[in-house]
Each structure stands twice: as C-alpha cells, then as structure tokens.
Chains A and B, each alone.
Chain A
Amino acid sequence: MSYEELFRMCGFEANEIEKEKPRIEKALAKLELGPRDIESALDTIPKNFDISLKGVRSVLRIWLEELLNLMLAKEEGKKLIYGTAPGFPCELLEAIRVAAPERVYCANPELLLGTVLDALFGKQDELVEVGERSGLAPGFAHCSVGEAKVGGVVKKFIPPPDLAICMGIFCDQTPETEEMISEVYGFPEPVYVDNCLDLNWDEWDKIPLRKIKYLAGQMRKALDKAQEVIGVPITDEHIQKARVNLFQTLNGVMSVYKLLENDPPPISVGDIMPIVYLYFNPVAGRDKVDAACRLICEEGMERIAQGYGVVPKGAPRVLFTWLPNVDNSVVHIAEKAGLVIIMQVVLWPIEAQKKPKTVQGPLLRIAENYLRNPYICGYLPINMQWIREASRYYNADGVFWYWMYNCRVQAALNPIALRKWVTEELGLPILILEGDFHSTHEYSGEAARTRIETFAEVVKARKAARERDSLSCKPGKSSQLT
C-alpha cells in the first residue's frame, strides 16, 4: 500500500504529495511506518473519523503536516522547542512561534505523536510499552502520555529539542518525567513552569493576586529562556498576538461545538477531537485551523438543512469531561447508544471566567485565565460549578464523567465525591467511567460498552419521564463523612 492513498485520504492533493515526497518518505522512515502500517491506517481512519467531511480531512492533513515538521525540523535548520501535554499554557509556545516563525519549530511532541500515531495508525501502545520498560514502570499508574513520550524518546521518534518547557501548572508527573528524560536520555534540562494548586474553597471565584503573579512569573521565566535559545526577544506584543491567535482558534472550535447544540447534531464529537487538540498544540499557521473549522461548520450546516444527524432527533444530552486523543470509541459507543455529548469541561467558560480580568498585562491575564478554568486549576468546587452552569445552559440530561485513571489531577478531582454531589444536589444521572485518554493498553471503549449503553438507557428513560411529567431537578443535602 502506498502512502499516497493515505495522504489523499487526509486531504492532500496529488501534486502536493509529489512535492512533499522526500519529506514524507524521510519522516515515515524515521517513524518506522511501513506498508503494513499504511494499510492499517487506511482501514482505521474511516472507522475513527467521518472522512466524507472535507473539513475533517483537512484537520487530519494539518496533523500529518505537523508530524512531518516535527520529524524534519532540525534537519531543516530550525530550533526545536517543546512544551508538554496537554499544552497549557498554550500561549507560551504560540508566542515563541510568533516571535520567530522561520527560525523555530514548536510542538508538544507526545500530543502530536499520540494523535497521529494512534488515531491514524493505532501505534501509540507500542510507545507506551517501550516507555514502561524505560523508566515509567507498569503497575504504578503512570501517565500514559508520559510513558508514550519516554517511548518516543527511546525509539528516537522524538528528536532532542533545543529547549524543553515543562508545563507543570497542574501536573506533578510531567515535570518528574521530563527531568528523568533529561537525566537518563540526555535531553537538555527543562525549564519548569510551576504552579501551586492551593486555592481554598472560598477563593474559587476571586483568584488571589499572589497566585496570578507567581504563575505569570513562571511563564516569563520560560520565555526568557526561549529568548536565549532562539536569539530573538519575545515581547508583550508577541504574547498578545499569541493570545489573539489562540482566541481565534478557540472561536473556531466553539463554533464547531455549536453544531452539537442542533437537534440532532450533524457531526460526531469524535470528529471534533482532532480540532480541539489543535488548540492545545502549536501549528505552523493557525489560519489553516481556522479555515478547517469554517469548512466543518459549513458542511455541518448543510447537513442540518438536510435533516441529517449522527443520533436520533430528541436524543438526550450529556456533559463530558475531556475527549481522549486516542481511541475515540468511548464517544462513538455513547453516540451509537443515542447520547449527544454536548460539551467538555475545559472549553466552556463558567460565569466566573467571563468576569473582566482583574489584572493588566498579557502574561498576568493569561495566568488569571488559566487559574479560573475548572479543569486546569483542578478544583472540585469549580468543576461542580461548571456542571451546575453547563447543565442549566444546555438543559443537560446527564453527566458522563470520563476520567483518566493514571492522571493524578483527575483522580484528585475525586469523581466519587462528584458523583455524590451531582446525584444529590442536581438530581442528574451521572456515569463515572475510568479510562485512559492516551492508550488502549489498560482500557478501551469496548470494555466499557455495557456500562455506557446502560447509562444511555437510564438517561433516555429519565428524559422521557421528564418530558412526560415535567419533572425538574431537586436540590438535596450533601452527605457528611460518617
């Protein structure tokens, strides 16, 4: 099987493939992707994505382009600067890219590899296994994205960078993994963006200034280091441009999400996953992402006009945590069971996030924005507030809390407490499903099919009863630890 068919499937034209041929072949060789892998991808991609949508194919194309760029950046004379998954704060790498677009290539390599190698080729687990033998032992619930990164380093899929910026703003494992990679595998010592998850429960809607200043200072430290590496100053103007670029992309992503509000939604939330992750990963030219979002919206509107839906009309809606970037079978199973996955926690702003910023200066504002985000600041009360507000706004019929078992942030967010609160305070059915967003090594959607389908029946029955009897959510009291 030739790679041309694969690249055409992902939105490349024949003359573009011909022009990129040397780069494509070099990158595929480095990634050890041969004819059998291509054949597998040609089978996998149509199962994972709706490639009848040109917009979806254009998004897959962007990911493939970024993969080529990552593999060849150093050979092509660029400075290579990494962030770490999931990519927050995204503005840092975007600002560096904006300051020196011809000189530097920025990426979150594990995100890039995960999205392409797994969603397209189904090969992430191989990297995870190598990572487990190379420092992040199995059985200790290490983050699989970290395992994949270590695996990518060992297999030389991830080239050594000129600078690694470790985004430890809510994660403990990432900084430790990055330090290990530096110590054992010779990558340069990272610069760490640190944060303390010490918001008290009465502070969540008024972030203390000292926290904002600390995080902003950490970001400036990382940018100062980047300046040294690339030899170009990174100014407030570059940071502000980065904010504008990302805001534009976020608008595009949210406009795609808006399609899901239609009854029935015209596209699967699994097709939105790769676009969402393009918000978190630097892209050489965000206008391509914005164009892809517009295309998907146009195609979605056409489908709405034709009455086409991926779930039956009147399907119940559930709030969702975070889309996995590999194996979107969980969301496909939920949709096939008749659920609409309406919104994920990291994207929809609560009222407190929409309040005017209390600080001036781009880095301070970026810091304040992230500290207000329910998922990123990792606060149980803020996540409760998100569920409360989003469930009202979308008239949600349930909550599907899909969480990553090996993410200590998500474990500490305490799905068990959340389930109790949602059930007692909001009266909504909630499914807590443990899984892995970055590997199918331990968990897969198929293993959870029965639970998802049962939950879907519960939600459907409840929605039917509500419509029949006009029931509303009744508040309850929280249980005490007894």
Chain B
Amino acid sequence: MQAREKLSAHLRSRIIELSELKREGRKVIGYLPGGYMPEELVYACEAVPVPVGLFRGGEHEPVLVAGAYLPRWIDTFCRAQIGYKVLKEEPLYDLIDLLVVPITDNNVRAIADCWNFYTDVEVLRYGVPHAKTENGFRYYLEGLHLLKQKLEKLTGTKITDSRLKDAIRLCNEERRLFQEISLMRKAKCPPLTGREFVELNHASFLIDKGAMVEILRSLCSELSQQESSRPRQPRILLTGSTLALGDYKVYDLVENTGGAIVVAEEFAEGMRHFSAEVSLDGDLMEALADCYFRRRIPPAWFRPARERLDYLIRLSREFDVDGVIWYQLMYRDSYDIESFYFPRILKEETGLSMLKIASDYDASELGPFRTRIETFIQIIRKN
C-alpha cells in the first residue's frame, strides 16, 4: 500500500530530519505521551514535539538497566524510559531541549525526578488533577498556561491565537482521520489489523504532522476500497495503562497465534486519543483544556472510575466485541485494583468475559501469555 510505504520512509528518515531541524535552531520538546500535553502549543511556537517515553517499550533490558537508577517498585514502562536513556540506543532521547511531564501519578513523577537528578535537561512539570471538577479543570488550565509561557520563553516565539488555531486545525484533522479509520474496524472484516492501527497511531507521534495527515488521507481512501471475504474472527477489546511503541506482543499473540483480531483499544498512555476535537471558538487555551482534560476518557487513576469503565462497556457494544483483554504493567496499582471488580461489571452488563495479563516486559512471559490468550480466544469462540 502506497500510504504505508510513505509512512515507513518517513519513519526511517525522521531522526535525521529532527537532527537537521535542531541544527537549524528549532527546539525539540520531549514529553511523556499520556495525552495531557497538547502538541498544538508546541507547533504554535514552531518547536517540534517528540514523545520521550513513547519511542520504545516492551523490552526487558532497559527495565533491568534502570534498576541502578530507581527502585524496581515503579511501573515497568516508567522504569524502561530511564533504561532507554541509560542505554543510549535511542538518539531521540538525546535531542530534546526541554522535557514536559504532565504529572498524573507517582510513577510518572519518578521519571521526571530521574531526568532532573541524572541529566542536565530542563524538566517542566504541571499537574493533572484526578477528578474532572471545575477546580480540577482550572488547575489543569493553569498548568497549560505555565507550559505556554515556558515554550514562548524557550523558543522566543509568541504563541498567538492565529498560530494556535492553525496548529489546532492540523491536529483536529489528524484526529478526525484517525476516528474515520477507527470506525472502519467496526466492520465484520476490518480492513486493518489491530497491530497495524496501533503502529499507525504510534507513528503519528514521531513524524511530521503535515506528512502524517496526508498519509492518513491516502490510507483512508485505500482502506475504504478494500474488500475482504474473511470469515468473522473473534473480536477483542484491548485495554490497559500503557502501550509503548514496540510493545506488540499481545497483538501478535492475539492476531497471529490466536486467530482473533483486536478491533478496539483503550490505553491511558502511549496511544493518541482522537475521539474529541479541540474547539476553535472562544478562549483557545480553555478549549485545549476542555479537550485534553474534560472530554478525554480518563485513566484509571481518576475518580470516579465508572466513567472509564462505562466507556469500555460502550466500546465493547459499539465494536461488537467478543471478549476483553486487560493488559496492565506491573506496579500500576490503579489498573490492578480496577481489574478486580471490572470483570463482574462487564459480565453483568454485556455477558462478556475478560482476561487479565500483567507484564514486566520480560521475555519469559511470552509462553504463559500465549497459553492464556489462546485459551481465552477458544473460550470466547465457543461462546
């Protein structure tokens, strides 16, 4: 497919592009991709956002290496980010001029503190309150204003309404296209696998936004013309805290080995959220806060938890899902605690079953995961 080839080409050359942009004087803004940092603000001051902390995941070596820098009782993904920085295998981690960390919980705070303690990179934190109250919204909005001021100071470029609107339009277009492709997965035979969708989603964090929008437009057109006569496969909703680039073992096990297909996913971190668009009316900063804080599906560390759980149930129905796989990383407590009582709610409201798997990015997990996923798919197939 032409669109995918273009995407691969862009991905291969992106590090070189970024290095050149940096040499030209553009600032590179690293951030943790938990969905609470509006990229629009970065584009509006002509800087480049790169997801430090998305770029890699799923491997055990960085997790092991991180043990010399922070305790093991921190979420696996967060430890891995420190490990990748230590291993110096990812040039992206060394390109950034500023690291922006929206603080959601203690695990993410640990990453920010490690960067502060062990590197010379400036770190900017602002908080994400754990409830969508009016006070919480105002607090988050104040954080975005802090971010705006910092970006303007760093880049020397004022973030005007005009620049911000242009950035919002571009990002909204990307969201709209992702929504369009996502809805194609409701089809009896989706035109792309779950892994393909996730790789696309991850790529959108890395390559130039304009190029990504063009690729998505082409892909939409290509996919809408695809026909398939495959028999219906068992359909899976995948949910969890974090899905990092490279952490695709669950997709491979479900779709390659298990003969099922992931038709929808919901993750707090690592995935681009695209269900809500930023309004262009009124105060633009409030519009950003409204989209990124109020209208996004909250992670498990938000109260009340039912908003997210009800969303999962709605998603299960809309995508005609046959089962849910709950994929969590070790020591992300919020997810583990919710995984205790969500299966009962899911069963009562939809009749669906749930499989919970917990990973520490360890290769030895693959065997047990394969057995459990295959068995789960067999069970839901019979049902």
Contacts and interface: CB of A to CB of B under 8 A. Distances in A.
Nearest to B340: A135
A472 interface: no
A211 B113 CA distance: 19
B337 A480 contact: no
Nearest to A170: B106
A411 B74 contact: yes
A414 B113 contact: yes
A68 interface: no
B129 A194 contact: yes
Interface stretch (B27-35, B64-72, B267-275, B369-377): B64-72
Contacts of B116: 201, 380-381
Interface stretch (A98-106, A110-118, A177-185, A387-395): A177-185
Contacts of A198: 103, 109, 125-127, 143
B200 interface: no
Nearest to B127: A196
B287 interface: no
Given A196-B127, A416-B70, A136 B106 contact: no
A415 B103 contact: no
A142 B70 contact: no
A201 to B, nearest CB: 5
A137 B335 CA distance: 12
A481 interface: yes
A86 interface: no
A183 B125 CA distance: 33
A194 B71 contact: no
A194 B136 contact: yes
A419 to B, nearest CB: 11
Contact of B106 (A180, A197, A434): A197
Interface string B54-73: 00000000000000111101
Nearest to A421: B117
Given A414-B114, A480-B118, A408 B107 contact: yes
B130 A192 contact: yes
Interface in B163-212: none
Contact of B341 (A135, A168, A210): A135
A203 to B, nearest CB: 9
Contacts of B71: 405, 411, 414-416, 434
Contacts of A381: 116
Contacts of B333: 140-143, 172-173, 176, 408
Contacts of A405: 71, 73
Contacts of B106: 170-172, 197, 378, 408-409, 411-412
Contact of A137 (B107, B128, B136, B340): B340
A200 interface: yes
Interface stretch (B8-16, B44-52, B154-162, B300-308): B300-308
Contact of A180 (B118, B126, B130, B337): B337
Interface in B112-155: 113-114, 116-120, 123-131, 135-136, 139, 142-143
B119 A481 contact: yes
Contact of A142 (B118, B300, B336): B336
B110 interface: yes
B123 A200 contact: yes
B105 A194 contact: no
B132 to A, nearest CB: 11
Contacts of B248: none
B235 interface: no
A408 B118 CA distance: 20
Interface string A117-150: 0000000000000000001110011110000000
B338 interface: yes
Nearest to B334: A176
A306 interface: no
Contacts of B68: 416
A417 B301 contact: no
A429 interface: no
Q: Sort chain A's interface into a size bin.
A: 35 or more
A281 interface: no
A176 B334 CA distance: 6
Contacts of A175: 130, 301, 303
A470 interface: no
B107 A192 contact: no
Interface in B339-383: 340-341, 358
A408 B128 contact: no
Nearest to B121: A481
B341 A196 contact: no
Nearest to B136: A194
B144 to A, nearest CB: 12
A478 interface: yes
Contact of A140 (B110, B135, B331, B341): B331
B125 A200 contact: yes
Which one of B71, B74, B85 has the greatest number of beta carbons of chain A within 10 Å? B71
B283 to A, nearest CB: 18
A199 B126 CA distance: 8
B276 interface: no
B86 interface: yes
B330 interface: yes
B118 to A, nearest CB: 3
Contacts of A141: 73, 330-331, 333
A189 B143 CA distance: 29
Interface string B69-106: 11101100000000001100000000000000001011
B304 A414 contact: no
Interface in A366-413: 378, 380-381, 405-406, 408-409, 411-412
A481 B341 contact: no
A218 interface: yes
A384 B136 CA distance: 30
A421 B118 CA distance: 11
B118 A481 contact: yes
Contacts of A414: 70-71, 110, 113-114, 117
A481 B116 CA distance: 10
A408 B331 contact: yes
A196 B103 contact: yes
A132 to B, nearest CB: 11
A218 B301 CA distance: 17
A316 B340 CA distance: 48
A479 interface: yes
Closest 8 CB pairs of A and B: A196-B127, A481-B118, A198-B127, A412-B110, A198-B103, A408-B106, A412-B106, A411-B73
Interface of B: 68-71, 73-74, 85-86, 103, 105-107, 109-110, 113-114, 116-120, 123-131, 135-136, 139, 142-143, 300-301, 303-305, 330-331, 333-334, 336-338, 340-341, 358
Given A141-B331, A180-B337, A412-B74, 11 more contacts: A136-B336, A176-B301, A180-B341, A192-B131, A214-B139, A408-B74, A409-B106, A411-B110, A412-B107, A478-B117, A480-B119
27 contacts: A135-B337, A135-B341, A140-B333, A141-B333, A142-B333, A172-B301, A176-B333, A176-B334, A189-B304, A196-B129, A198-B109, A198-B125, A198-B127, A200-B123, A200-B124, A210-B139, A214-B129, A214-B135, A217-B135, A378-B106, A380-B117, A411-B71, A411-B106, A412-B113, A414-B70, A416-B68, A480-B119
